Structure 1
């Protein structure tokens, strides 16, 4: 004490020191008692991070639970450029692991735009991401993500579509059912160490909800056979494209649909953007002679033309309102069934005109032409059916044999279900267990009479669809050929070849519509180009589905009474 008395200045300094210590202790005690929650919150802000967890996208299955689209785990590597300070050695290691130019990594370090977030690499395999994390680079973070993968490669590609990098559907069913498949992101609170690295999850603010799965009506086995036949036809006929849709005749379920050329959604950098289009729904065209069965149904329904009428066809052409309509064949006269069997434009025009364009137009509209199919596929074109106050004879005639209207291939397949179901139209569906009830469009007598005509259009003398015949089975169908239109009229050497058929016709199971666009080898008629595709596919389909052959040749067709 004497020492302190001899050094008054030291006493003052010590007194001030003790006073400050007491103040500091008091302040700490005060904060610990009265500001605990505030301090805890501030500390958590500096050592934790809110993190959005990405939901896994739902799986798309075929009708037998074969996966068509799945999401596989990948990692996203991102950086906070304000914190990102790798060493030269770490930059070299990153460049090697991520196959990335070192200059890009250096650009992230410069952070000329003042960002606090930037992607380093996306869709990185977990193995590579793990090696990157082991480099312990300050300001580099990993996030679990998912990558969409399509196990069957190009098969069903235009129907499934694909997603973008953020797992959002941008084409096909991936787009159409994006909200169903996407799920809901979660929110987690992560704790960080002094190096700003995640150490453990501490709190889940919002649980992640995975996307719902989607089950299609597609049969992958039948899809394979359809695509196989289309690829062969595309090459054999040197065509621009080929499309087909196979439908369950009783339920309207789409069992297979394809367009070739196709693309591999797993390798998007290598495909042609034009191959993305699902032509079965998006492309419309004048259907030509495949529309004649519906015109015949309108004629039989109206009853203006006698069911036993024999129509003069010679000399093979007819002039209507200054226009000349010609037949390919050289028939002298034909009955109503013969008009369908021989695909006579002259005969169809002669029976359509007294029936009237309005009756045919109304029939086509009731069959779903000019309207969306119940599938409502993204980008679907509905086409058009002409309506007029006054129908000229040439307008009626051209509509009756498939010109002046536009349809898509899905509409055609759906419309032909009316002949397989006693006049009831069965709506198409592509999602399993979403079958819609049929609706009546024409009488059973009319539908079955036309079905009988379609059988003869395959197996009758001079039938245009004879190449669709399958030994042991009753096949019904109609071929068609249409010239492609251009801005200046019709192109002289550009055609579409079509065939729509029903198998077996006496116990309908399947409807299939086929279109080959611009065949340039082996001709261009639907009976020569599209009908063989139907035969090739249905031979496999009937075998795979164990549909008995050698069934009775007797059809349920009945004749309508003339009025």
Structure 2
């Protein structure tokens, strides 16, 4: 009886245990089902990504950067294939005994290599050496060092070196534009990298052939307006002049008057973009576009143009410059000598400060400022070059007489050499202003008339006299009639204008009957052989334009050819 009661009393306890056991089994089953659903459906993407991180590798396919050409299709900047070596530091830490041979092949100190590996041991990727030749990359892979990998990249190369450095600029190690055209047109030149997917084991060894995910899109090509032949010639002559005069720097820009294209743009000192060791800030500036100067007497043709346009003056209108100086308040305007009575043409020929001062004060400063603005002074040229300066054209409600005087002969305002060349191209195109371009043009822009045609023609005729009998005689070009204006400006120092630091300038047009070229040369702080623009810059104009006109196939002036022959015959007879 007692035994039966025990069995009976134990049934509820067994049922409770069975219920608990069933509950546990059911809960475990539900947990497993939930986990399966979670793994297969809810967390599927997360888990796949985690797995991919351990087995799938994406590598970049470098995009080929667009080639930069000159106007004739000669390459100025190209991208060449190179090899970059990288590794997983954890793999290299496991083979320290091979660091010596790896350092020798990389041409590195073993201690430098060891430091780089140990300092980055927590990372999965470090560069060991970038931009090696394909042959060097193959030699490194032949070592079969665990974890060592290579990838293909591109390196920018500049065939013309320092000759086009200031214009073309350069890129960094990742082929991103840093200066010049490379920077200004970086988006145009830079392509879009592609992507390839690899399946690798944990040591980085290839387990499955790569699969293309995204194709690389190469950058677009760019054809500049410059002529490499003219660029080389201009660079050589400018470098020779800067060296001869022991000058601080120099600049030269040559424009095609008919199209507004830049045919040559060079500076001194320069640098080789293929050798980064020479890249110092003072060498890298494109002074033609970024540096400003007071133009001095090269601005006088526009003061004369404003006077002619006012209707108060003609080419033969007399201007009295006696006695060679002119008191304006507490200041004095001087000529280098007393020229006496001059006509307007002779004012420009003799470069009379008093003559242009009297004309500017007579017509009013507003007329002069209007003329300067119309030819582009104080405004960006719009070439799109990084760091371009706009120069400075003052604006005042009230002008003193001395301020008007100094403005008339090129002081109190600043221009870039490119702005000055653009202004002279307006004279060369008989009063038409065309936008300046560093990119080759297929269609010539119509331009806008900003100066009376007859006024421009009259000033051109006056510029011829400057070269024939004035301060620009050294700018003569054999067999061609040219015109231009010299300028010599004192530089500003800590105590005002310096008597020992000057800028020599020549701005001119060739040939004068139908101008094709507008050229500006600047020689900054010449210390030997004189400092006047007629001594330093004018001879460069002569040499550069003599070759440029022949290279461009411009027909010589028959009158000038006959004159040159007569001169040769006289010299031969006298000899």
Partner of 2:204: 196
- Relative to total residues, which structure has the larger helix share, 1 or 2? 2
Q: What's the C-alpha RMSD, in Å, of the aligned pairs?
A: 2.2
Change in CA separation of 1:361 and 1:200 when aligned onto 2, cut-off 3 Å: farther
1:160 to 168, 178, 189: 168
**1:51 aligned counterpart, secondary structure:** strand
2:403 to 395, 398, 403: 395
Cα deviations by residue, 1:205-264 (Å, 9 ceiling, x for unpaired): 221111111110010000011001011101111100111001111111001010011000
CA–CA distance in 1 between the matches of 2:267 and 2:396?
Answer: 35
Contact 2:87 2:127 in 1 (8 A): yes
Partner of 1:459: 468
Partner of 1:264: 272
The Cα shift of 1:133 comes to 1.6
Partner of 2:564: none
Partner of 1:440: 449
CA–CA distance in 2 between the matches of 1:433 and 1:421?
Answer: 17
CA–CA distance in 2 between the matches of 1:270 and 1:401?
Answer: 39
CA–CA distance in 2 between the matches of 1:85 and 1:137?
Answer: 11
The Cα shift of 1:489 comes to 0.8
The question of 1:240 aligning with 2:267 is answered: no
The question of 1:48 aligning with 2:56 is answered: yes
CA–CA distance in 1 between the matches of 2:107 and 2:445?
Answer: 52
The question of 1:411 aligning with 2:402 is answered: no
Change in CA separation of 1:210 and 1:259 when aligned onto 2, cut-off 3 Å: same
Partner of 2:567: none
Cα deviations by residue, 1:21-80 (Å, 9 ceiling, x for unpaired): xxxxxx9xx99xx89x99998766543301122211111100011110111111111122
1:490 to 485, 494, 497: 497
The question of 1:473 aligning with 2:509 is answered: no
1:429 to 433, 437, 455: 437
Deviates more, 1:416-425 or 1:195-204: 195-204
Query: Any residues of structure 2 matched to 1:203-352 within 5 Å, and which?
Result: 203-305=211-313, 307-352=315-360
Change in CA separation of 1:497 and 1:199 when aligned onto 2, cut-off 3 Å: farther
CA–CA distance in 2 between the matches of 1:119 and 1:129?
Answer: 13
CA–CA distance in 2 between the matches of 1:108 and 1:486?
Answer: 49
Deviates more, 1:106-115 or 1:468-477: 106-115
The Cα shift of 1:200 comes to 6.2
Change in CA separation of 1:494 and 1:200 when aligned onto 2, cut-off 3 Å: farther
Contact 1:85 1:138 in 2 (8 A): no
Q: TM-score, normalised by structure 1?
A: 0.88
2:508 to 501, 505, 519: 501
The question of 1:545 aligning with 2:575 is answered: no
Partner of 1:519: 526
Unaligned runs of 5+ in 1: 1-26, 554-563
Partner of 2:573: none
Cα deviations by residue, 1:409-464 (Å, 9 ceiling, x for unpaired): 0000011111111210122100112754411111101110101101111113xx11
The Cα shift of 1:390 comes to 2.5
Count matched residues: 520
Change in CA separation of 1:130 and 1:351 when aligned onto 2, cut-off 3 Å: same
Change in CA separation of 1:349 and 1:196 when aligned onto 2, cut-off 3 Å: same
Change in CA separation of 1:371 and 1:83 when aligned onto 2, cut-off 3 Å: same
1:66 to 69, 74, 80: 74
The question of 1:176 aligning with 2:192 is answered: no
The Cα shift of 1:312 comes to 1.4
Unaligned runs of 5+ in 2: 1-32, 561-575
Partner of 2:144: 136
Deviates more, 1:219-228 or 1:303-312: 303-312
CA–CA distance in 1 between the matches of 2:48 and 2:278?
Answer: 54
Moved segments of 4+, more than 6 Å: 37-43
Change in CA separation of 1:92 and 1:511 when aligned onto 2, cut-off 3 Å: same
Cα deviations by residue, 1:110-145 (Å, 9 ceiling, x for unpaired): 246622221111111111111112222222221111
Change in CA separation of 1:200 and 1:351 when aligned onto 2, cut-off 3 Å: farther
